[in-house]
Amino acid sequence: MKAILFIISLVALVTGACRKPTDDVASNPGQSDSDTLSGARLATLVRREGRGLVVNGQPIQLNGVAFGNWVWDNSPVPPTLHHNEQDFARLQQSGLNCVRFYLNYRYFEEDSQPYVYKQTGWDWLNQNIAWAKKYGVYLILNMHVPQGGYQSQGKGGALWDVVENQNRLTRLWREIARRYRTEPAIAGFDLVNEPVTTQSIDQWKNLAQRLTTAIREVDKGHLVVVERLNAVAGNWKDYNGEHNLFLVNDANVMYQFHTYDPFEFTHQTFSWAGRSPTDFERYPDETKLSVPGDATWYSAVFSNPALPAGTSGWTYYEGVKFTANDPKMKLGQAVCQASALGAGKAYFDELVVREYAPDGSLARTVLTADMSSNNGWYFWSKANTGTATTIDAGQTGKALQITQTTDDANNGNGSQPFLIRPGYSYQISGWMKGEGIPATATVRLRIDFQTTQQPILARNKEYLRQSLAFYADWGRKNNVPIYLGEYGAGAPCFNDGRGGLAWTADMIDLNREFGFHTTYHAYHEDSFGWYFGYNSLPDPANANTALIDLFRQKFGK
């Protein structure tokens, strides 16, 4: 199966990589809504055919990079220093043929004047289309910041809770589609980046269908790109048994997912991603386990001693030795439970997890945590209340403090799971103290267990293959093309032998194996860029040269 996919992707690459937008069909913003595409013009657009894409009846494989366009600045004016014509030429020289082109709605419309579109936005987009066409590069227009706010970090709830924002987004997409419906340099319309709804997956399903329908009112030809749901109200899980992918009622659609797996590697040292400046993660790393995508909480050790009510000083609590006889227990992680604290405060420090052989002898020390950083620990609260932070008042150095929880809550070390061996026993111990702990609170150390149907792999290429396989299978099952719209490794991954080039090379190879259309994030930014720097054009003297060279090697120029 994988060999067949690999052959198909190679054929598509060879036949499609040199294809470029047709030069004899220009955009016509003045075109009336009554105009229709002839069959010949329709064929010049990138269109879905089964699991692939075609132009003029010939297969095409889209591979490229993202132009972020500094959309996070929320500027009302499009940037002029993010890139220029030379950067499209550089992509052509690298053998790439696609740009995921990020848009902020404010480039086209102000909140103070909804539905009144700014000519400066159209002029900027027209110029980029002209450059793209000149160098044989396709644009996937991506609404990265829609009305209602940027979605990825859960701060764009107004898109879902304020209907007028959906109305404005629908109208804007309809106008974009109307203006550019005959433009072959545009590969597709990418509706919303990394949607995070406030109530359910249905909110995104309904809006995606509405946007697609509005586009089809004026544009029967262009590809629509629909990304899977990322999360609901900050809860990142599978809501429909299909990794939150779903079909819309339209035949000309490409379906999208993003991956930065493993997150601890690709986002190392980035404070904005909750990482520590002292991170040092490598790829590959056979000592690091990567949690399968279907892993779910299964059970926990609830019999460990608990912190008493009231106020108590630092005390060492030794956990019970729990024997893992249940074969469904696959992975373990250290957890600090601090439920229903109210105004009380619970403190944790100097944790250790030990594994014991069936004969009772110490097999290994699985984990030690001095709690000097909350990095890699993930706070969960059933009622979405409370905080977990590190403070300078530990048993030794810093400690973890949890407070203000009103229901079940805990802080789990999800970044350091450990393999559970049947018949072995596991024990978590450490220091705890309390201030004003209510009698109804529960404060203790736990080992939580996860179960999974998939093999547990180390951080290597086989793990990456497993993490991608579902999306290829879903595309095959539904006979639709799959687009990996974002993948990338942060700039620190390419320093000090951490393996950023190895990770990227493996991802490129696997994307070809699975036949994904792809765009790497990103071309010009400090965190993930090919080129670094802000408010100045890309400069080869300030660039990730090794990464740029890797893409040239992989894509043939």
How far apart (Å, rounded) are the C-alpha atoms in residues 108 and 172? 8
Cis check: omega of the bond before 522, within 30 degrees of 0: yes
Three-state DSSP state, 493 = helix
> Please, are residues 283 and 494 in contact by the beta-carbon 8 Å criterion?
no
Distances (CA, A) of 193 to 70, 111, 396: 14, 20, 44
Highest mean pLDDT among 242-251, 284-293, 375-384: 242-251
Number of helices followed by number of strands (H, E) in the chain:
11, 28
Q: How far, in Å, CA of 518 to CA of 62, rounded? A: 6
Q: What is the pLDDT of residues 69-118, one digit of tens each?
A: 999 999 999 999 999 999 999 999 999 999 999 999 999 999 999 999 99
The candidate with the shortest Cα–Cα distance to 426, out of 351, 377, 362, is: 362
Q: pLDDT tens digit string along 428-480?
A: 999 999 999 999 999 999 999 999 988 899 999 999 999 999 999 999 999 99
In this predicted structure, what is the pLDDT of residue 557? 62
Instruction: Give me the sheet containing 58-60, strands edge to edge.
Output: 47-49, 52-55, 58-60
* Lowest mean per-residue pLDDT among 37-51, 176-190, 205-219, 248-262: 37-51
Q: Which residue has the tokens 């433009």?
A: 183
Name the phi and psi angles at 79, rounded to 5: -75, 150
Q: Rounded to an integer, what distance in angstroms lies between the CA atom of residue 358 and that of residue 380?
A: 33
Q: What are the contacts of 353-357 at 24+ separation with CB within 8 A? A: 353/418, 353/426, 353/427, 353/428, 353/447, 354/426, 354/427, 354/429, 355/418, 355/421, 355/424, 355/425, 355/426, 356/321, 356/424, 356/425, 356/426, 356/427, 357/424
User: Are β-strands 517-520 and 63-67 bridged in parallel, bridged antiparallel, or unpaired?
Assistant: parallel
Q: Would you place residue 556 in the very low, low, confident or very high pLDDT band (cuts 50, 70, 90)?
A: confident
- The answer on pLDDT for 15 being more than 70 is no
Give the distance between the most distant pair of CA atoms in the chain.
81
SS3 7: helix
For 99, the token pair is: 């740009």
Cα-based distances in Å from 96 to 49, 91, 126, 400, 518: 22, 5, 21, 47, 10
- Counting Cβ atoms within 10 Å, is residue 173 exposed (0-12), middle (13-18) or buried (19+)? buried
**Which tokens hold the place of 259?**
């991956």
Cis peptide before 538 (omega within 30 of 0): no
Q: How confident is the model at residue 237 (pLDDT cuts 50, 70, 90)?
A: confident
- The percent of residues above 70 in pLDDT, for the chain, comes to 93
Residues 527 and 490 sit within 8 Å (Cβ to Cβ):
yes
Q: Which stretch of 42-46, 210-214, 351-355 has the lowest confidence by average pLDDT?
A: 42-46
CA–CA distance, 118 with 51 (Å, rounded to integer): 37
Tell me: pLDDT of 235 over 90: no
Higher pLDDT, residue 278 or 306: 306
Please state the domain extents for the chain.
2-273+458-555, 296-451
pLDDT over 60 (residue 8): no
Q: Write the pLDDT tens digit of every residue in 22-71.
A: 333 333 433 433 345 677 788 999 999 999 999 999 999 999 999 999 99
The Cα–Cα gap between 125 and 3 comes to: 40
- One of 3.40.50.970, 3.20.20.80, 1.10.10.10, 3.40.630.10 is the CATH number of 2-273+458-555, namely 3.20.20.80
CA angle 483, 485, 486 (to 5 degrees): 140
Res 396: pLDDT: 85
- The CA distance from 348 to 372, in Å, is 11
H/E segment holding residue 114: none
**3-state SS class at 136:** coil
- Residues 400, 410 contacting (CB under 8 angstroms): no
- Report which residue type is found at 524: H
pTM over 0.85: no
Q: Is the pLDDT of residue 4 over 70?
A: no
Cα separation values, 101 from 18, 105, 139, 190, 390, Å: 20, 13, 6, 9, 39
Answer positive or negative: Cα dihedral of 159, 160, 162, 164.
positive
SS3 call for 172: helix
